[in-house]
A and B are shown apart, each in its own frame.
Chain A
Amino acid sequence: MPRYQATLLIELKDGILDPQGRAVEGVLKDLGHPVESVRVGKVLEVIFPAETLLEAEERAKAMGRLLANPVMEVFTLEALKELP
């Protein structure tokens, strides 16, 4: 069965205060970078088998829904590719 690699991005929703992002923002500014804002999220790379690209996409999205907390987070399927 073909193997796929999905890259899931989990981020805090807009408008939810992100103290980690604030801290990173402060450091970058202190080091002289003209930064407007920083948000910190999580990247998950998942490798799994699926029969078709469509099935792989559905499965990746299902995993994103399972792992992101809808109260405060959104997830994006950033990339999906078949592995050689």
Chain B
Amino acid sequence: MRWAIVRFPGSNCDEDARFALEKAGIKAEYVWHTERSLKGFDGVFLPGGFSYGDYLRAGALAAKSPVMEEVKRFAREGRWVLGVCNGFQVLTEAGILPGALLANLNLHFTCKEVGVRVERTDLPFTRLYQKGQVLRLPIAHAEGRYYADEETLARLEGEGLVVFRYAPLAGEKDYNPNGSLHDIAGIVNERGNVLGMMPHPERAVDEVLGGTDGLPLFLGLLEEVTA
């Protein structure tokens, strides 16, 4: 299995993405955002960072990059697309996932570990988790407040497209770190092959990094091929 990691000007979690994929046994290669082909790849990872300095809106300019046409094709063809943090913002700006990520309610750049509940486990991304399991994953963003209109939210909930939701860690009261509607931390498309999430699973794949709760997400992808 071979994944592409797209580098935009300002990506800064690209090496974390590679570390996580390779740790799970998935081959990973960097692809510059001006590339027009992702031929030969099984999946594409849009990493975190500050593409184009978050100018205009987070992810807005990256969403118009040449490579995104190919990412859209990937999504349509049912191949794997994972967008984390800025990558999630790029996916919504490109219209590949619905909704938008707005400025955190507290207006702070928030960098900490949060609780993330797994809402479904029938996806390759989540098959190695238990339903209802609360993961400890780091977040690091200023614009992570998930927003969508009522109709879209109802559709997401009705079709079970919310994969990850912020949830309290032991004794925690204010567990929603950014004001996301419905505590949404990550969503998937109808087909189940495109996942966007604000927390960073790739930064939680080794005890040295403070935790390993993100590793099963990548291991689950690998199983998809070998299963």
Using a CB–CB cutoff of 8 Å, the interface residues on chain A facing chain B are 16-17, 19-20, 23, 42, 66-67, 69, 71-72
Q: Which residue of A lies closest to B63 (CB)?
A: A69
CB neighbours of B57 from chain A (8 A): 69
- B17-62 CB contacts (< 8 Å) to partner A: 56-57, 60
Bound CA–CA A72/B99 (angstroms): 8
Partner of A42 from the list B56, B98, B104 (CB cut-off 8 Å) is B56
Can you pick out 11 interface pairs between chain A and chain B where the beta carbons lie within 8 Å of each other?
A17-B102, A19-B102, A19-B103, A19-B106, A19-B107, A66-B64, A67-B56, A71-B92, A71-B99, A71-B148, A71-B149
Q: Which residue of A lies closest to B107 (CB)?
A: A19
Q: Which of B73-111 contact A (CB under 8 A)?
A: 92-93, 98-100, 102-107
8 Å CB contact of B60 from A16, A17, A20, A67: A67
Residue B147 interfacial (CB < 8 Å): yes
For chain B, the bracket of interface size reads 10 to 19
Q: In the complex the two chains form, what is the Cα distance from A67 to B56 in whole Å?
A: 8
* B60 engages A71 (CB within 8 Å): no
Pairwise interchain contact B103-A20, C-beta atoms closer than 8 A? yes
Q: Is the CB of B60 within 8 A of A69?
A: yes
**Contact between chains at B147 and A16 (CB < 8 Å):** yes
Query: How near does chain B come to A14, taking the closest CB pair, in angstroms?
Result: 12
B132 to chain A, nearest CB (A): 30
Q: Give 12 A-B pairs besides A67-B56, A67-B60 with Cβ atoms closer than 8 angstroms.
A: A16-B147, A17-B105, A19-B103, A19-B104, A19-B105, A20-B107, A42-B56, A69-B57, A71-B92, A71-B147, A71-B148, A72-B102
* A69–B105 alpha-carbon span in the complex (Å): 19
With known contacts A16-B102, A16-B147, A69–B107 Cβ distance under 8 A: no
Pairwise interchain contact B100-A69, C-beta atoms closer than 8 A: yes
Checking A19, A20, A69 against B93 with a beta-carbon cut-off of 8 angstroms, the contacting residue is: A69
Interface centre among A16, A17, A42, A72 (most CB of B within 10 A): A72
- Chain B's closest residue to A66 (CB) is B64
Partner of A23, one of B98, B102, B107: B107
* Chain B residue contacts of A20, Cβ below 8 A: 103, 107
| B60 CB contacts on chain A under 8 angstroms | 67, 69
- Report the nearest A residue to B98, measured CB to CB: A71
